[in-house]
Chains A and B, each alone.
Chain A
Amino acid sequence: MPYLPFLIAFGVAPMLYALDLAFTSSTGGWVGFHNFIRTFDDYRFRPAFEHILWYTGIWLGSLIVLVVGLTLLLHGRANRVSTAFRFLFYLPGALAGAASVLVWLFMLDPAVSPASFLMHHLFGVQLFVQAIAPGKLPGVFAMIAFWTGAGGWIVVMYGALNTIPPDLEEAARIDGAGPVTIALRLKLPLIRKWIAYMAILSFATGTQLFVEPQLVDQASLGMVPDTWSSNQLAYQFAFRYADFNAAAAIAVDLLVIGVVAAVLIVTRTGLFRRED
């Protein structure tokens, strides 16, 4: 299988090498948890983790509440209107990565934003630098991630809801259940697995945040630090200080989160096939 060399070279080996670096010094000697402790004690470590936890928390909350809510609303009356809305919600997914960040830098610049009146009156923001003030960033990044990703999840959840046999819904209706009862008592439990999958996956992805704060840092004249997220901090350790052991220690912290989340999804949700 020609696939195996790739799996080893770019999947397994980097993880093992990062582990090796994280537990050794620059001269190669074993140092135990020293790299983890000294990066943990770095003054930028805790803020970075707090930032990504805030961001991930806001994003997860909005994903779960709004994606599930909107899906149930859309599924209440399946018709052409519902199809059109699903498509509109899904549209921004075409602008992923750096493109979505640039779009929102424009949206957050009161000088050109179509929502500038909202920004003035609701948030008291007059200038671009106020819109990307450090305290607002977790919410801003959560909004960008929600904007690009929510529509896809809505389509997924909607698809999962469509697998519910129609006679089940019919039976509930005959028993006198209204649309709200059907949505909460019948539909919601049936998509629980997908909600769990979305939540775990998004949590793991959220902790890896890099491109958004990196671009905002460039557009903020250094007001937003280039070590805003944990991955950025690891990147700076590697690139600015050539301290590969410290970079590896933080990379391992993040790898552990990613691997644990992946293992949870594989073994707990039953959504992935491993058997014949």
Chain B
Amino acid sequence: MRFAARGVRLLILAAFAVFFVVPVLWLLLAPTKADGALVTRNPLAFGNFGQIVKAWDHLDGFSDHIFRVWIGNSLLYAFSATAIVLLTAVPAGYGLALGRFRGRKLVLTVTLVVMIMPSAALVLPIFLELNALHLIGNVLSVILPFAFFPFGVYLAYIYYATAVPRDLLDAARVDGAGEWQTFRRVALPLAKPIVALVFFFSFVADWNNFFLPYALLADSSQYPIQVGLSDLLSSTPSFNPAAGGGGQQVNIFRPELALATLIAVIPVAIVFLLSQRALVRGMLGGAVKQ
């Protein structure tokens, strides 16, 4: 009986493992095969490495190397927005945790609410606002909203409120350090672990965001890679028979699209797999340990 129960348990878990893993495997193998082989051969067969090179040449040749431009844009947006996030979130978390000023509770509550509500809910309101200010199509219209990252503030807040002893800061003040000096000399060096965490979450959130740049950028040379992928999808004949017709041969087929998808997730996948624990802490929303 117990043996049977254990078998059923393993069977269920294995079935779900197949569901979760096979699509990833397929994606890893797809660029090793030509488009025709994808249809005729076993879906999980390995082709050859030469095919990957060929797929990359087609992808890179698409629309005058625009794929490289998209990756570059993604890096630019994610890194510059995350830099601003770090500059703003750490002092804000410090102030909210250890400062005493009017409106502290209000700022904290608003930060929490905006952090928890889905970010997509703010995309159209931000579009409407920036449209009224005639800032649409400007690169800053993506970077600046990305730089608003309340979750980073909350992570810094929780860290200063729980992990940094208040006595330490009081001691610094007794020693004659001003507020700024206390922050600069004592609190900031203590923030190292939180900087890594905030960097990671902010970068991943910016890299994966589709809706905001999709709504705010008009020119495809400004697209980040996530939006660029949708451009490639429209150019893939098997999903869009109208593409590739009309004499314009763009050479984007399923293996190229699969390769583009893989390359697009590499930066996030690396950090993601290396830092399972940090990511989980983020899904807990930095919540208080029970």
By beta carbon, the residue of chain B nearest A74 is B13
> A272 and B209: CB pair below 8 A?
no
B241, B261, B268, B279: the one within 8 Å of A221 (CB): B241
Shortest CB distance B40–A (Å): 10
Shortest CB distance B227–A (Å): 8
Q: What 0/1 readout, one digit per residue, does chain B (50-74) give for beta carbons within 8 Å of chain A?
A: 0000000000000000000000000
B120, B158, B289: the one within 8 Å of A210 (CB): B120
Bound CA span A102–B95, Å? 43
> B9 and A14: CB pair below 8 A?
no
Shortest CB distance A138–B (Å): 18
Q: What 0/1 readout, one digit per residue, does chain A (77-98) give for beta carbons within 8 Å of chain B?
A: 1000100010111111111111
> B22 and A114: CB pair below 8 A?
yes
Q: What 0/1 readout, one digit per residue, does chain B (79-114) give for beta carbons within 8 Å of chain A?
A: 000001001110110010000000001011111111
A1, A116, A248: the one within 8 Å of B95 (CB): A1
Bound CA span A73–B14, Å? 12
> A208 and B118: CB pair below 8 A?
yes
* A residues 33-88 in Cβ contact with B at 8 Å: 66, 70, 73-74, 76-77, 81, 85, 87-88
> A156 and B280: CB pair below 8 A?
yes
Q: What 0/1 readout, one digit per residue, does chain A (214-236) give for beta carbons within 8 Å of chain B?
A: 11001101000000000100110
Residues of the B chain whose Cβ atoms lie less than 8 Å from the Cβ of A259: 113, 117, 121
Bound CA span A76–B150, Å? 37
By beta carbon, the residue of chain B nearest A89 is B20
Determine which residue in B23, B124, B210 has the highest number of CB atoms from chain A within 10 A of its CB, and name it: B124
Is A251 among interface residues, defined by CB-CB distance under 8 A?
Answer: yes
Tally A-B pairs: CB < 8 A.
280
Residues of the A chain whose Cβ atoms lie less than 8 Å from the Cβ of B19: 147
Shortest CB distance A197–B (Å): 8
A76-B9, A106-B30, A265-B116 as given contacts; A94 in contact with B239, CB under 8 Å: no
Shortest CB distance B240–A (Å): 6
Bound CA span A256–B143, Å? 26
Q: What 0/1 readout, one digit per residue, does chain B (140-153) give for beta carbons within 8 Å of chain A?
A: 00001101101001
A4, A15, A102, A106: the one within 8 Å of B107 (CB): A4
> A73 and B9: CB pair below 8 A?
yes
By beta carbon, the residue of chain B nearest A255 is B121
> A231 and B124: CB pair below 8 A?
yes
Residues of the A chain whose Cβ atoms lie less than 8 Å from the Cβ of B22: 114-115
Is B249 among interface residues, defined by CB-CB distance under 8 A?
Answer: no
> B38 and A112: CB pair below 8 A?
yes
Is B265 among interface residues, defined by CB-CB distance under 8 A?
Answer: yes
A92, A97, A248, A274: the one within 8 Å of B105 (CB): A274
By beta carbon, the residue of chain A nearest B146 is A10
Shortest CB distance A1–B (Å): 5
A92, A105, A116, A247: the one within 8 Å of B20 (CB): A92
Residues of the B chain whose Cβ atoms lie less than 8 Å from the Cβ of A94: 265, 268-269, 272-273
Q: Known pairs A6-B147, A153-B283. 17 more at Cβ < 8 A?
A: A1-B95, A11-B110, A11-B150, A70-B13, A81-B10, A90-B276, A95-B261, A102-B261, A103-B23, A109-B239, A159-B284, A163-B289, A244-B131, A259-B113, A262-B112, A272-B116, A272-B285
Q: Which residues of A come within 8 Å of B, CB atoms?
A: 1-4, 6-7, 9-15, 17-18, 21, 66, 70, 73-74, 76-77, 81, 85, 87-99, 102-107, 109, 111-116, 128, 147, 150-153, 155-156, 159-160, 163, 197, 201, 204-205, 207-208, 210-211, 214-215, 218-219, 221, 231, 234-235, 238-239, 244, 247-248, 250-251, 254-255, 257-259, 261-263, 265-266, 271-274, 276
